[in-house]
Structure formats: C-alpha cells, structure tokens
Structure 1
Amino acid sequence: MKHRLRFTSLALSMLLASGSALADIKIGVSMSQFDDTYLTYLRESMNEKAKSYPESVQLQFEDARADVVKQLSQVESFIGQKVDAIVVNPVDTAATRRITKAAVKAGIPLVYVNRRPDDATLPQGVATVASDDLEAGRMQMQYLADKLGGKGDIVILLGDLANNSTTNRTKGVKEVLAKYPDIKVDQEQTGIWLRDKAMTLTNDWITQGRKFDAVVSNNDEMAIGAAMALKQAGVAKGTVLIAGVDGTPDGVRAVEKGELAISVFQDAKGQAYGAVDTAMKMIKKEPVDQAVWVPFQLITLNNAKDFK
C-alpha cells in the first residue's frame, strides 16, 4: 500500500511539473514599426523586463510597418494563438477600436504602450502605459520662450500626423505660445519622426531664405536632422535653439555637444517595464491602474550626464 501511495505521489508530481512547463506565459507584442529609434529602446527594455520574472515569460514581437491593417491582423493572429496577453504600440491612435474590441471579445488582457488610443474611455481588460505628451510640448516650449526673451520666429517639426503624440506635443507647444504673442510660427511641417526627412525640410527652409530663431521638434531624431542641416549651411552652433523630445542616447549626446538646446526625456524603460508589469498583473487577475503615466523630465547641458 505504501509503495502504491509513493508511486501515485511521484506520478502526481511529474504531472504537475509537466503542467508548469506548459504554463509558460506568452505575450504578443505588435510594434508600430521596428525602425524607429525610440521604439527600439522600448522593445529592448520590454525584453529585459520579461527576463526578470521567476516564471518563463516569452514576448513575441511583430513589426506592423506603420500599417493599420497589418497591425490588426497581427492582433487577430495573437488571439488565434491564444496568447496570455497582448501589448500594442499603435500605428494610428485613432484606429484602435477594432483592436480593443477583438481583444476584449476574446477575453485577452490588452495593454497599449507609449501611445494612448484617442478613445476617451477604454473598457475593462484594457490598460495604457504612456507619458503625457502635452507636458512634453509645454516643457520644451517654455524653456525656449524663456531663452528667446519672449520674442522671435520659430519652426515646428511635427511627427507622424496619425499619432496623438504629435497632436498633443504640438498642442502643448501652442498652449505656451498663446502667452507669447511676439513669438511667431514661421513654418510647421511633418518630418514623420525621421532624421533625414527633418534635415531635408530644414535645408529647404534655409534655401528659401527663411529666418528662424528656434526649432521645436516633436522628437530627438528630427531635432538632430535640423541641427545637421543648420551645420551644413554654416550656421554657428547655438545660433538657432533646437529642442527635441525623447532623451534618446543620440539626443543626450547632441545636448552635451551643444547641438540641441534641450531634450525632454521620455522614459522608454519606465514605459516598457510598466507595460509588461501591467500585462503580467492582468494575466494573474491582480488589480492594476487602467492608466499608468510615466513622467517626462527636462534635459539640459547642466544635467545631461544624469541621462546617459
């Protein structure tokens, strides 16, 4: 009898071990595009966070390549695979409703990261981890307004027009501008987050003979592109004040070199860790904040070393 009991216990323990091996956690992650510098840091940090758990957490990354239809298809594929949770960095913040509906219908936790959907409210089972882009725009423009003494001409480099990050950062800039009627916006065009596109735009403005005292950029990559165009045109460093957002390693180095006046640090690690942690809590049916906000921080020459 004792032998039979021992055998039954051994069989049970083997079954449990086998079950735990099958209970690896799988999270599907759809990124709007892999070739965006900031989103690369976000992706790397998510991987780093996933490795920190005692259980096995596998992240399956997919590149939506800035295609709304492709991103929806990726989410539907995750649902078909019966992943434990889905994390989405949306291509278009105005086109997330079908993604939300599909995940909620399947009963799979959904976390939007870095870009919050435009929908005013999100249903239960859906959370967001992002930063307040309005604040980023306010921070960079207030710094520039102070440095300009409340007067001058500026140009604005917009990100992808499909993203509310672009809308809200620019809105924050204009909220500050409303207090300074002697600061005029000479040009406002999209560089779609890209360094080379912003360099081309800035070069065109210089060639057209436009004069501006500052460049307000929705991200660091475009700010660096503007700095490169000005340097190529022989404009002395610091003559035109340039402000970016993100605090990427390249952006921080540009601040240290005096190529950018400032950047506004968007915490990729904070967002990435927050997204994975929120997904894990939702999988385990633990309470979560439906909206997790990661604060921005101003980067100047004086504190740039703290962001390296």
Structure 2
Amino acid sequence: MSRKAFTRLLAAVSVGVALTACTGNTAAPPAGQAGQGGAKVANDEPGEKVVIGFSAPAADHGWMAAITNATKAEAAKYSDVELKVVEGTNDVNLQISQVETFINDKVDAIVLLPFDGAALTPVALKAMKAGIPVINVDRQFDSPFAARSTVLGDNYGMGVSAGTYVCDKLKGKSDAVVAEIAGIDSLPLTQDRSKGFADALRECGLKVNNRVAAEFTVESGEKAAANLLQAAPRIDAIWNHDDDQGVGVSAAIKNAGRKEFFLVGGAGSANVMREIKADNGLHKATVVYPSTQGADGIRLARLAVQGKSLGDLVEVEIPRQVELYAPVVTKDNVDRYLPAAFES
C-alpha cells in the first residue's frame, strides 16, 4: 500500500478520534530524513507527487491577491507538486462546490482559505473523512476535526501590537482620543483584533473612543472613515485594521482636511510602508499580517501527504497549528519588511 493510500485509510478510520493520525509517519523515514528526535529533514528533496487543490476568496484587494499569488509561486518551486487553483469567490455556496469537486477528483490535499470558516466547516470535515488532509488558512473552521493543520495570522496579537504602539506614542496623555476602523465585524478575526487593541489600550489607561467597521475594501474604508471623522471632531490616533481599506481611509482624511492625529495601519502594504519610510504622512506604523499563509499551507500540505515533518522541529509530523507573528513596522525597521510587502 502506498503512503498516500495508507494515509487516506488511516484518516478515514480515525478522524473523529485522533486528527493527527491522518498524516501519521508509521513507516521508516525516507532516506535523508531523520526519525523522531533526529536532526535535519530533507524536506525540499523531490518525493511522491502531491496534487493540491487551492480555494480562496476573490482577490478583490491587495492582501488577498498576494495570498493567491504567493501560493501559486510556492507550489511552482516543487517539481513534485501539482496545484489546482479554482477561481476566487466570495460566494460561500460556490466555494463549497469547489471543495466538493476537489473531493470528487480525489486530490491528495486541500489548502483552503474559507470566505466564512463556519460555513465551510461541513465540507472540510467531509474532505478529512475522505482521507484528504485539509490545511485551513487564515479563517478557522468551527470544528477542530475539519483540518489537519491550520495556518493563522495572529489577529489578537495584531490588536495588541497596534495598541501597544499607540500607548507608547500617547504616553502621558490621559485624555487622548483613540479611534478604530475595523474590518468585517462578523468575522472572528476582526473581533480578535479589536479585543487585542482594547486590552492593550487598557493597560495604559486609554480606551477606544470612536469605532466604525468597514469591509476590507477601498470603498468601504472611505465611507467608514468619513463617518468616523464626522462623528469625532478631535482624534489623537487611529488604528485601521487593513491597509487595503486604508487607501479609502486616507482619501476620506484628505477630503476632510484632517491631520491632527497619527495613523497605524494593518496587514503591511507596500504603499503604507513607503509612506512610513518617507515620514511625510499620517501613517507612522503598520502591523504586519503575513500574506504568506497560503504559501505556508502549500508546504504543510506537501509534507503531510509525503509523511514528512518540519526540518526545524524534532516532531516527526507537521504541527497542528502555526500562528504567525504580528510585528509593528516603523521608520526604524521598515527596510526589513518592505521587500516582502504587498501592493494595495
């Protein structure tokens, strides 16, 4: 029985009991790999062919486009990976249908960035029960059994990073007015960002005085910011969750002729980083939300199917969850992050 066939059989039997079994490495490690407790793993050496299906929301803003582009580029690096990419969609039913097609086509693994994690949970569970490892990206499923591994940005950490930076900038200003322009309020990731921001501000005696929500688009950012500026005659700092919608936020600020505050961005776009580097605008920082998550998903999917592990870990299987760091980019460190930034 091939490794892939064994993987699928084992996952079908045990998905409800031990999720990690679906990629269990029960045979002897291939040549060039170390066993449990070993040193190096030759992860990049060509191995058994892996067919990976990839589905994500529509690339209607820079960050999502960067996710998809990075995913394709990463897959192209491996001669043993065949990537099947379906058209990005914000239609939940269509995305469910796309995953159903991957299952019917018997792909070896699925990398899935769901438009809505809760809505895509049942079909992800179906894939896992069919023995197809699912790598969940960015927006979590409702069930821990719906994915073999999950790659996440640190949304709560984004809020903490942004709030900590605001606290440092407004040190000693107890009457400071802090505003927040969130993303899609119904998404857990937005809720986590807002919670982290509020928790960090609380540590220095500040709070969010004015808050509006947008939809991660330029148009929604401009509309939400215009409403915020009209409601708040004085602001000392604004944290905008997303640099793509930040293009609209900046337009609204310019139209209103406001410049008494500083801006902290979110996600880490190249245009915001260039403004930070030039130090000639309202943006003084942005908090990175990596657009490499899909690419990381490709690597994990390949390793899971081939029965390999991460070379920098002792464990013989891929991790259950990977949470990426959310650093603050300022003029002091912008040169480090700018080359990898996405264009809004």
Which bin holds the TM-score, normalised by the shorter protein?
0.7 to 0.9
Change (3 A) 1:128 1:255: same
Q: Do the aligned partners of residues 56 and 104 (structure 1) sit closer, same or farther apart at CA in structure 2, a change above 3 Å counting? A: closer
Q: 1:209: how far off? A: 5.4
Per the alignment, residue 227 of structure 1 pairs with 250
Deviation of 1:92 after TM superposition, in Å, equals 1.6
Partner of 1:264: 287
Change (3 A) 1:56 1:93: closer
Question: Normalised by the size of structure 1, how large is the TM-score?
Answer: 0.83
Question: Would you say the 8 A contact 1:221–1:251 is kept in 2?
Answer: no
Q: 2:297 aligns with which of 249, 269, 275?
A: 275
Secondary structure class of the residue paired with 1:261: strand
Structure 1 counterpart of 2:267, from 242, 246, 254: 246
Deviates more, 1:40-49 or 1:89-98: 89-98
**Is this contact kept in 2: 1:109–1:282, CA < 8 A?**
yes
CA distance in 2, matches of 1:96, 1:254: 38
CA drift at 1:43: 1.0
2:318 match: 288
Residue of structure 2 in register with 1:126 after alignment: 148
Structure 1, unaligned stretches of length 5 or more? 1-22
**TM-score normalised according to structure 2 size:** 0.75
Question: Which amino acid is the alignment partner of residue 325 of structure 2?
Answer: P
The one-letter code of the counterpart of 1:161 is: D
Deviations 1:255-301 (A, max 9, x none): 224331211122223x2332101110122133211101221221001
Q: Deviations over 1:83-130 (max 9, x none)?
A: 1211111112333320321111211110011223344x336x621111
The count of residues paired between Structure 1 and Structure 2 equals 279
Separation in 1, partners of 2:184, 2:291: 19
Q: How does 1:153-168 map to 2 (within 5 A)?
A: 153-168=177-192
Corresponding residue for residue 230 of structure 2: 207
- Does the residue aligned with 1:95 lie in a helix, a strand or coil? helix
Q: Alignment RMSD, CA only? A: 2.0
- Does the CA-based 8 Å contact 1:92-1:162 persist in structure 2? no
Q: For each residue in 1:211-251, what CA deviation from the matched residue of structure 2 results, as whole angstroms up to 9, or x when unmatched?
A: 22111121112333222222222223xx3111121112223
CA contact (8 A) 1:223 1:242 kept: no
Aligned equivalent of 1:116: 140
Q: Indicate conservation of the 8 Å contact 2:158/2:287, yes or no.
A: yes
Aligned residues: percent identity? 25
Equivalent AA in structure 1 for residue 246 of structure 2: A
Three-state SS of the structure 1 residue aligned to 2:119 is coil
Q: Secondary structure at the match of 2:268?
A: coil
Structure 1 residue 52: Cα displacement: 1.0
> Is residue 152 of structure 2 the alignment partner of residue 97 of structure 1?
no
Partners in 2 of 1:217 and 1:298 — Cα distance?
Answer: 13
SS of 2:83's equivalent in the other structure is: strand
Q: Distance in 2 between matches of 1:306 and 1:280?
A: 29
2:85 maps to amino acid: Q
Kindly name which structure, 1 or 2, has the bigger radius of gyration based on alpha carbons: 1
Contact preservation (8 Å) 2:221, 2:248 = yes
Q: 1:300 maps to which residue?
A: 330
Give how far 1:208 is off: 4.2
Deviation at 1:179, TM superposition (A): 2.1
- Indicate the residue corresponding to 2:92 in structure 1: 68
- Structure 1 pair 31–55 and aligned structure 2 pair: CA distance change class (3 A): same
Query: Alpha carbons of 1:301 and 1:160: their partners in 2 closer, same or farther (altered >3 Å)?
Result: same
Verify: 1:175 aligned to 2:205, yes or no: no
Q: Secondary structure at the match of 2:117?
A: coil
- Does 2:65 align with 1:44? no
Structure 2 gaps, min length 5 = 1-47, 309-316, 339-344
Offset from partner CA, 1:11-52 (integer Å, 9 cap, x none): xxxxxxxxxxxx853211110222131111111111111111
Q: Note the C-alpha offset of 1:56.
A: 4.4
Distance 1:35 1:168, change over 3 A: same
2:59 to 28, 34, 47: 34
1:142 alignment partner in structure 2: 164
